[in-house]
């Protein structure tokens, strides 16, 4: 989905990146992902939900490096302008 979104918005430059077959690969990946999700057992879904909740909770306890974050945002802004 990101490939399709970024193709139609100028949020991130592609630097000449092109997929052969345009949307065939992203569409196949989406179809395969949907197939895999619908075939999970309740045990697999439970483990996935627990991991997702733990990751979401731990996100709030991660300390951010403000200097690195400012450099990252400046680089993104520079890329958007080009």
The tens digit of pLDDT for each residue in 39-63 reads 888 898 899 899 999 999 988 888 7
CA distance 46 to 52: 10
Q: CA-to-CA distance for 32 and 38, rounded, in angstroms? A: 10
pLDDT of residue 12: 63
pLDDT digit string, tens, across residues 1-33: 777 676 667 666 665 566 777 778 888 988 998
Alpha carbon 25 to its chain's center:
16
Question: Is the distance from CB of 22 to CB of 3 less than 8 angstroms?
Answer: no
Q: Identify the residue whose tokens are 């709030």.
A: 60
Distance of alpha carbon 48 from alpha carbon 10, whole angstroms: 33
Q: DSSP letter at 12?
A: S
């Amino acid at each position: 989905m990101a490939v399709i979104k970024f193709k139609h918005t100028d949020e991130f430059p592609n630097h000449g990146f092109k997929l052969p077959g345009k949307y065939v690969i992203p569409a196949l990946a989406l179809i395969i992902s949907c197939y895999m999700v619908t075939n999970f057992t309740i045990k697999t879904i439970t483990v996935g939900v627990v991991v997702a909740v733990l990751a979401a909770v731990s996100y709030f306890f991660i300390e951010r490096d403000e200097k690195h974050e400012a450099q990252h945002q400046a680089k993104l802004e520079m890329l958007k302008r080009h």
